[in-house]
Structure 1
């Protein structure tokens, strides 16, 4: 079983972006969205209308400045490769402590698998949830639709 990445947030975080689980590249780098084929950082900063600083810690600083946190649905998981439909065993993260300590106002879901799990386990019953197309490279053929969804999801925090 793999252990996911630690929650990224602070006490001012109002928007939480949820994925399913980190890719193999992200686990090795211990960084969210480290897979070069994933368009997360490009899509996010374009939707926020700010330049991408490229350096990971500067990216995280920009997220904090916009009151955005990152986490995944799965705390622990086993999966062949990095493709979401290849999960074999999973353990859901406990979101209760985060919700008790941060003023989360909205959840943005990055991708279908994370969306399915959030709905199946009723993880955020009292919060608005926006489901966006995955930033995975597998969705690059839908980049215009994906960009529009992310711009709408992030419109009120730009």
Structure 2
């Protein structure tokens, strides 16, 4: 497998009132294919965030 150069296009989101830090790793190949972080349907990231905020699980990229 050839090495790939991957550019991280998602800037950190925080301000002086931030209290929680969510760390991620490199996006999976499936996420890169969809062009969206945590894009694989089996990824639990959006389900966990929805549970934390007591919101419905977002389905579309726009909702996420």
TM-score (norm 2): 0.67
Greater share of residues in helix: 1
Given that residues 22 and 33 in structure 1 are in contact (C-alpha distance below 8 angstroms), is that contact kept between their aligned partners in structure 2?
yes
Aligned residues: 59
**Is 1:16 aligned to 2:21, yes or no?**
yes
> Alignment partner for residue 8 of structure 2, among 4, 7, 20?
4
Aligned to 2:62, the other structure's residue is in SS state helix
**Which position in structure 2 is the counterpart of 1:45?**
50
User: How big is each residue's C-alpha offset from its partner over 1:56-104, in whole Å with a ceiling of 9 and x where there is no partner?
Assistant: 2222xxxxxxxxxxxxxxxxxxxxxxxxxxxxxxxxxxxxxxxxxxxxx
Distance in 1 (CA, whole Å) between partners of 2:55 and 2:7 is 32
Give the 3 Å change call, closer, same or farther, for CA 2–37 of structure 1 in structure 2: same
The CA deviation string for residues 118-154 of structure 1, in whole angstroms up to 9 with x for no partner, is: xxxxxxxxxxxxxxxxxxxxxxxxxxxxxxxxxxxxx
Moved over 2 A (4+): 8-13
Mark the structure with the bigger radius of gyration: 1
Change (3 A) 1:7 1:46: same
Local SS of the residue matching 2:22: strand
Secondary structure, in 3 states, of the residue corresponding to 2:47? helix
TM-score by length of 1: 0.32
Return the structure number with greater relative CO, CA threshold 8 A, min gap 6: 1
User: How do 1:1-158 and structure 2 match up within 5 A?
Assistant: 1-9=5-13, 11=15, 14=18, 15-59=20-64
Alignment RMSD: 2.3
> For structure 1, which runs of at least 5 residues remain unmatched after alignment?
60-158
